Amino acid sequence: MPNADLTAIKERVVRHGAFVHDVIDEMGGVVVGQTRMIERLLIGLLCNGHVLLEGVPGLAKTLTVRMLAQCIGTSFQRIQFTPDLLPADVLGTLVYNQQTGRFTVEKGPIFANVILADEINRSPAKVQSALLESMQEHQVTIGDQTFPLDDPFLVLATQNPIEQQGTYPLPEAQMDRFMMKVQVPYPSREQELEIMRRMARTNTAPAVSEVATPEQVIRVRQVVNELYMDAQVEQYIVDLVLATRTPAAYGTERLARLIEHGASPRASINLNLAARGHALLRRRAYVTPDDVRAVVPEVLAHRIVRTYEAEAEGVTATALVQDILDTVEVP
């Protein structure tokens, strides 16, 4: 690509993407030690992809999602998933009006810009499917009417990895609908001390300022599409995904007995988009292999189905992805 074109893209990145760092700074003033989670949520927002957060309770997942909605001036709804939740509780339903003798539509909490699906694995499959259909189609059908969802529309789901009693784990086909699955770690000792100092108040009510608008989010998505990606980087993305399906072809014969099913073509699409989003966060007009490598664990790990042998040996999907990263040649 000519340097003049890259310069023009760089100018658009700086002009339209400046608010992204304002959001990071604003949220970082409240949420301590979760910069990676904040950046991954922003990548999902900028690339029109949904994110699954996995971590034990108390790691500020809900707080972070709510703060994100406040920072970009969008509507926010938190849906607590429970075993007795019904699809109508999420999507909405038809309500009969005795006075008029007609049915009217009562819209559910899904009609918001940012949705927090809290503990999504606590609801049965029919509720999960109703939500994931909305994620894929960006529309909801109630009765014989179809309603488009607002733009931007972002679903951020959480699940608890340690308490599995009474849960309904998401099937692999449904996990594939999430652009990224982000592991939320415990804070460090210094971060824990800072959290305690900030939050151990009886009148604590953390809040952030609105530093962006939904229109800016929609505008910067076009800039994400314009970022330059060299053909070698595209080939690298495809090689990483294919290495999950045919490990032996990429010199990782050991993984062939550990991977039951590799990532779908949706992984290639999402890896491309996530790498673009990562490049924009770094204020670049082009995508590098390092952008790809930075987001590979969150994009690929939840799409790999391990064999029983891998589970018996305690080999995680993240470890398998790291083996692939270490083996596939970087352009």
Q: What is the pLDDT of residues 152-165, one digit of tens each?
A: 888 998 887 766 66
> What would the pLDDT profile of 38-66 be if each residue is shown by its tens digit?
999 999 999 989 999 988 877 788 888 88
Burial class of 73 by CB neighbour count within 10 A (0 to 12, 13 to 18, 19+):
middle
What pLDDT does residue 196 have?
A: 85
Q: What share of the chain is helix, strand, coil (3-state, %, to 5)?
A: 50, 15, 35
Residue 104: its pLDDT value, please? 82
Residue 234 binned pLDDT confidence (cut-offs 50, 70, 90): very high
Per the CB < 8 A criterion, the answer to whether 104 and 95 are in contact is yes
pLDDT one-digit tens code per residue, 191-230: 889 888 877 776 666 778 888 898 999 999 999 999 999 9
Q: What is each CA distance from 243 to 156, 158, 327, in whole angstroms? A: 28, 28, 9
Q: Quick one: which of 12, 63, 52, 64 has its CA closest to 216?
A: 12
Q: How many CA atoms lie within 13 A of 156 on its CB side?
A: 28
Q: Which CATH architecture has domain 227-327?
A: Orthogonal Bundle (1.10)
149 DSSP assignment: P
In terms of pLDDT, which residue wins out, 26 or 133? 26
Q: Given a cut of 90, is residue 232 above it in pLDDT?
A: yes
What integer pLDDT is reported at residue 331 of this predicted model? 83
Fold adopted by 3-197+212-217: Rossmann fold (3.40.50)
Q: Give tens-digit pLDDT for 280-326.
A: 999 999 999 999 999 999 999 999 888 888 888 888 889 999 999 99
Residue 304, SS3 per DSSP: coil
The SS3 assignment for 79 reads: strand
Alpha carbon distance 215, 118 (integer Å): 27
Q: What global pTM score does this model have?
A: 0.88
Alpha-carbon distance 244 to 318, whole Å? Answer: 12
Q: Round to whole Å and give the CA distance between 68 and 60.
A: 12
CA angle 139, 143, 92 (to 5 degrees): 65
Round to whole Å and give the CA distance between 293 and 281.
15
The Cα 309–Cα 43 span in angstroms is 34
Largest interatomic CA distance in the chain:
71
pLDDT mean across residues, the chain: 86
Stretch 235-255: mean pLDDT: 87
pLDDT at res. 202:
65
pLDDT score of 211: 87
SS3 (DSSP) at 82 = coil
User: Which residue has tokens 């080939």?
Assistant: 235
Residues of the chain with CATH 1.10.8.80: 227-327
Q: How far apart are CA 314 and CA 153, in angstroms?
A: 37
CA distances from 172 to 6, 80, 146, 191, 301 (A): 39, 22, 27, 34, 11
Can you give the pLDDT at residue 239?
A: 93
The predicted structure's pLDDT at residue 162: 65
Start and end residues for every CATH 3.40.50.300 domain found in the chain: 3-197+212-217
pLDDT of 267 reads: 93
Query: What percent of the chain has a predicted confidence (pLDDT) above 70?
Result: 95
69-107 per-position pLDDT tens digit: 989 988 899 999 888 888 888 888 888 888 787 888 888
- Specify the DSSP class assigned to residue 186: P
